[in-house]
Amino acid sequence: MVTTIDLMEFVHELRADFFECAAKLGWAEFTKDRGVSMLSFRDVFLHLAYVEEQHVTQFCEGRPTPWMPEVMKIPQDRYRSLPEVRRRLREVRAMGDRRFKKWNSSEGLATPAVWVAARKYPLRLSRDSALAQCVTEHLLHLGEVEAMLWQMDVEPPTTFWIERRVLHGRWPPPRSALVGGRVLRDPTSARRARPAARRRGAAAGTSRPGSPPRRAPAARYARRRRPQPR
């Protein structure tokens, strides 16, 4: 069974891979305003770091604290190089990983937690629900990062759960992973074959193998009885 802990570990992996992909563009491209929610690659990644820190150190621990101002107002006096941003992401990942080991059970995820809505409404919910919100926040913003990379004609890392967690990068899938060890017939190949067969049949003057020859439209009309002049 997949848990929110599994999903958080998944987004940790995605976040690290997307960061390294964007970091290859260089600091100038990494910090350029691209018109997304948090403006730049840098600020999107740092936003996610603050979001996770708030969730795992406050909300999931049952502390109804206001959101850190840095969540939306990313500091400009810190994290002024790629190594510094990378270090920050790794620090936050370690914060989460230490707690996930303790929380990874049905009882741990059902523990009462809190989530602050609109900066002033402390909502009661389970730790599982708080983590689910953190996961969706990551997927939202990593989708922005993916779109920015596509706009620059840069191939982003895969976000495909099946490829990462079921196939573990193996492609095409090994037969051991297939139901019955067999590949399904491609339904589009049959659809492509039928028009081709019809075209061949028309060229040969038949609608299908074994059918009587078709007369061309002109031949059919030529056989009609012409009206006699009165």
User: pTM for the whole thing?
Assistant: 0.81
Q: Please say whether the dihedral angle defined by the alpha carbons of residues 60, 63, 67 and 70, taken in this order, is positive or negative.
A: negative
> What 3-state DSSP class applies to 112?
strand
User: What gap in Å lies between CA 142 and CA 17, rounded to an integer?
Assistant: 10
Strands 112-117, 121-126: parallel, antiparallel or unpaired by DSSP?
antiparallel
- The full set of domains in the chain, from first to last, is 4-176 (1.20.120.450), 187-223 (no CATH)
CB 113 within 8 A of CB 127: yes
Q: How far are the Cα atoms of 26, 34, 89, 120 from residue 45, in angstroms, in the given order?
A: 15, 14, 8, 25
pLDDT of residue 56: 98
Nearest Cα neighbor of 78 from 67, 66, 91, 65 is 91
Nearest Cα neighbor of 145 from 68, 219, 47, 67 is 47
pLDDT of residue 228: 52
Per residue of the chain (230 residues), give pLDDT as tens.
999 999 999 999 999 999 999 999 999 999 999 999 999 999 999 999 999 999 999 999 999 999 999 999 999 999 999 999 999 999 999 999 999 999 999 999 999 999 999 999 999 999 999 999 999 999 999 999 999 999 999 999 999 999 999 999 999 999 999 999 999 999 887 677 666 666 666 665 555 545 445 555 554 444 445 445 44
